[in-house]
Amino acid sequence: MAEVSRPVPGQRRRAVAQVVAPLIVFALVIAVWLFISYVLLEPRRRFLMPPPQEVVRVGFFDGRNVAEILGALWSTTQVAIVGLGVSIAIGTVIPVAMIQARWVEWSLYPWAVVLQTIPILAIVPLIGFWFQFGFSSRVLVCVLIALFPIVTNTLFGLKSTEQAQHDLFTLQRANRVQRLLKLQLPGALPAILSGWRIAAGLSVVGAIVGDFFFRQGEPGIGRLIDDYRARLQSEQLFASVALSSLLGLVVFWGFGLLGRLLVGAWHESHRSTE
Amino acid sequence: MSSRRAAVQPTPDIVAISSKTGSAGVALAFEHVSKVFPDGTRALDDVSFDVHAGEMVAIVGPSGCGKSTLLRLASRLSTPSGGEIGVSDGNLGYVFQDATLLPWRTVQRNVELLAELAGVGSRERALLASQAIALTGLSGFERHRPRALSGGMRMRVSLARALTMRPRIFLFDEPFGALDEITRERLNGELLDLFERERFAGLFVTHSVSEAAFLASRVLVMSARPGRILAEIAVPFGYPRATELRFEPDFAVVAGQISARLREKLT
């Protein structure tokens, strides 16, 4: 395997540059932010874009605010996790069934596409009517958003087995289970993990959106953001949004890591890009 | 899957062939085999020949003449449209042109694959695999993944994998076709060593006249589509054969004969 025993000076310089570059952009963003807050906005209207240090002071250094925001975020995270888990469970079983019989694929796949095209925001109130506003309804919203990418990517992965590999198994008189467990699923893993990564991000969005529109039941970060907006508590609002974004980032990075661990040894797509 | 399982059950035709393959040391028998594909392509037309136990037979022919189809029929990946095919032993070794390794498995686990599918226990599997790995010059590469191997090494893994099942009949579908000349010649030599040691029955499909003449004791020349056997040329050299054989005048004569038949047009 291609191995580098120790970092060559050029490589170390590159690694440093890769960290410094986004930091420079970040500094520029902060500069623009400060400009807007203090120069473009008069004090009366500064709530539209509170200065970054105020966001940090009120949002992160005020104990009560922090507790409120983190509590809501945790509630939302739980919904997202369960939603993702259910989506993965359903979204794996269905493609496995689809590859066993073409008629399963033909009958179910169009409905998966319909699922993708339904405007979720229009459906959320309906879900509230039918299933009330508890935990399971929120999970349902997440599943509706996250299921399709998992089904598509898993199906794509399972179908990407080469004919020659199938022939190899046929020659050995492998049964369906062996074919599935030793050939199709391992081979599909890169695509499956890509699907999970996309779905994880969507599940977080789904949890927040569901919460935002439900307005009842256990409050999550979505509702809190809306409350802050209504009360013009813009520092807390910005802090909540920042933390939600951070959640999304952690999820994205986490699944990237999972991909690298499980598949990086043999598949290009999940190797860390140099 | 289930339809393929049904094809393995003995039908009257296959039993008749089995009596032929059981006696006189015939390992593989093709009797008036023809194959027409669903789209109407006539791949093979009335092909008949035998491969005896311990014999290496090569088939040369132009691209698309149905050589690979013959192997697919012999291994039951496909069924003939006409005629019968008999094998003396259901345990066939098949080496594809593409090594077809599973990229997520190490060399060791790739070599063990067929035994694993056949339900062989892990200790025995590991033993069979080590033997095959030693025989094919892969020692030291057990923990490598296919992506780290050259084309020639991957083909060795493919060979080792087939060897673990100890087949008595080997089907080779242009296994070295995708390799460079030097690797190809080296692997020819290694395959010959293996053949001389194990003495399986082998059917070797290739484009290369010199490869056919070097490996086999009989070379069958196939016509262009629809494939027919045009000629059978005996290779008069015994085993073991040295690499230098390629450069001897007698070898050139045999290769020339084969080449000439290949170029003949059907009148």
What digits encode the pLDDT tens for the residues B148-163? 999 999 999 999 999 9
Between A118 and B44, residue with greater pLDDT: B44
Burial of A27-50, coded b for 16+ CB within 10 Å and e otherwise, reads eeeeeebeeebeeebeeeebeebb
Residue A217 falls inside a structural domain: yes
User: Do A175 and B1 count as a contact with CB atoms less than 8 A apart?
Assistant: yes
Residue A4 domain flag: no
> Which residue of chain B comes nearest to A175, CA vs CA?
B1
Who's near B236: CB < 8 A, 6+ residues apart?
Answer: B250, B254
A263 in reach of chain B (CB within 8 A) = yes
Query: B250 or A43: whose pLDDT is higher?
Result: B250
In-domain check, residue A2? no
Same domain, A38 and A147: no
Of B98, B116, B147, the CB nearest to A266: B147
Report d(CA B117, CA B102) in Å as an integer: 14
pLDDT > 70? residue B206? yes
Of the listed ranges A37-46, A172-181, A245-254, the one predicted with least confidence: A37-46
- Report the mean per-residue pLDDT for chain B: 88
Let me know whether A24 and A76 are in one domain: no
Please report, for the domain that includes residue A172, its CATH number.
1.10.3720.10
Backbone φ and ψ of B119, nearest 5°: 85, 20
Model confidence at A116, in pLDDT bands (50, 70, 90)? confident
The dihedral sign for the CA sequence A44, A46, A51, A55: positive
Q: Name A189's Cβ contacts closer than 8 Å, sequence gap at least 6.
A: A157, A262, A263, A267, B104
Residue B206: strand, helix, or coil: strand
What does the pLDDT look like over B209-250, one tens digit per residue?
Answer: 999 999 999 999 998 888 899 999 999 999 999 999 999 999
Cα dist from A98 to A91, A101, A156, A195, B229, whole Å: 11, 6, 11, 17, 43
More confident position, B262 or A186: A186
Q: Is B118 within 8 Å of A182 when comparing Cβ atoms?
A: no
In this predicted structure, the answer to whether residue B12 has a pLDDT above a threshold of 70 is no
Predicted model pTM: 0.83
Backbone phi, psi, residue A158, to 5°: -65, -35
Q: How many domains does chain A have?
A: 2
Most distant CA pair in chain A, distance:
78
Give the sign of the dihedral formed by CA B15, CA B19, CA B22, CA B24.
Answer: negative
By C-alpha distance, the chain A residue nearest B93 is A171
Which residues are within 8 A (CB) of B47 and not within 5 positions of it... i.e. 6 or more apart?
Answer: B30, B32, B33, B34, B66, B70, B83, B227, B228, B229
Cα A108 vs. chain centroid, distance in angstroms? 25
B104 with A175: Cβ contact below 8 A:
no
Instruction: Judge whether residue A174 has pLDDT over 60.
Output: yes
Nearest C-alpha of chain A: how many angstroms from B157? 14
Q: A112 and A83, same structural domain?
A: yes
The number of beta carbons lying within 10 Å of the beta carbon of residue A266 is 20
Identify whether residues A187 and A89 lie together within a single domain: yes
At B14 the pLDDT is 44
**A176–B94 CB contact, under 8 Å:** no
Supply the DSSP symbol for A273: P
Q: How close does chain B come to A113, measured CA to CA in Å?
A: 29
Q: What's the CA gap between B152 and B134, in Å, rounded?
A: 16
Give the tokens for residue A258: 């999972």
Q: How many CB atoms lie within 10 A of CB B240?
A: 11
Instruction: Examine residue A6 and state whether it is found in any structural domain, yes or no.
Output: no
* Claim to verify: residue A93 and residue A31 sit in the same structural domain: no
pLDDT of residue A216: 76
| B4 has a pLDDT exceeding 90 | no
Q: Inter-chain contact A167–B92, Cβ cutoff 8 Å? A: no
Please say if the pLDDT value at position B266 is more than 50.
no
**Residues A117 and A20 occupy one common structural domain:** no
Q: Does A267 touch chain B (CB under 8 A)?
A: yes
Same domain flag for A251 and A139: yes
Write down all domains in chain B, each with its CATH number in brackets.
Answer: 2-91+168-263 (3.40.50.300), 99-166 (no CATH)
Residue range A25-40: mean pLDDT, rounded:
90
Which residues does B100 contact at the CB level (< 8 Å), separation at least 6? A162, A164, A165, A167, A168, B158
In a domain, A146, yes or no: yes
Q: CA nearest B31: which of B89, B80, B94?
A: B80
Interface of B with A in 3-22 (CB under 8 A): 4-5, 8
A135 in the same domain as A228: yes
Q: Do A38 and A135 share a domain, yes or no?
A: no
Spell out the residues 6+ positions from residue A145 whose beta carbon is closer than 8 angstroms to its own.
A120, A202, A203, A205, A206, A209
Mean pLDDT of B174-191: 92
**Which residues of chain B neighbour A186 with C-beta distances below 8 Å?**
102, 104
**pLDDT of A47:** 83
Would you state the structure tokens that stand for residue A263, as one six-digit string?
Answer: 């598949």
Q: Which domain holds residue A22?
A: 13-42
Residue B200: pLDDT above 60?
yes
| pLDDT tens, residue by residue, A45-95 | 888 888 888 888 888 888 888 888 999 999 999 999 999 999 999 999 999
Give, for A150, the enclosing helix (H) or strand (E): helix A135-159
Residue A200 has pLDDT above 60, yes or no: yes
Report pLDDT for A201.
93
Give kind and range of the element (H or E) at residue B93.
Answer: strand B92-95
In this predicted structure, what is the pLDDT of residue A51?
87
Residues in a beta bridge with A181: none
Q: Which of A171, A173, A271 to mutate to test the interface with B (most CBs of B within 10 A)?
A: A171
In a domain, A149, yes or no: yes
A91 plus A126 within the same structural domain: yes
User: By three-state DSSP, how is residue B76 classified?
Assistant: coil
Q: Would you say the ipTM is above 0.90? A: no
> How many Cβ pairs within 8 Å bridge chains A and B?
55
What pLDDT, on the 0 to 100 scale, is given for residue A97? 94
Give residue-wise pLDDT tens across range A133-172: 888 889 999 999 999 999 999 999 999 999 999 999 999 9
Q: Mark yes or no for CB contact A266/B104 under 8 Å.
A: yes
Q: Is residue A193 part of a domain?
A: yes
DSSP bridge pairs for B82:
B34
Tell me the per-residue pLDDT of B50-96, one tens digit each, with 9 for 90 and over: 999 999 999 998 887 788 899 999 998 899 999 999 998 888 999 98
Per the domain annotation, does A234 fall within a domain?
A: yes
Q: Is the pLDDT of residue A20 over 80?
A: yes
Based on the fold, state whether residues A24 and A87 are members of the same structural domain: no
Same domain, A160 and A31: no
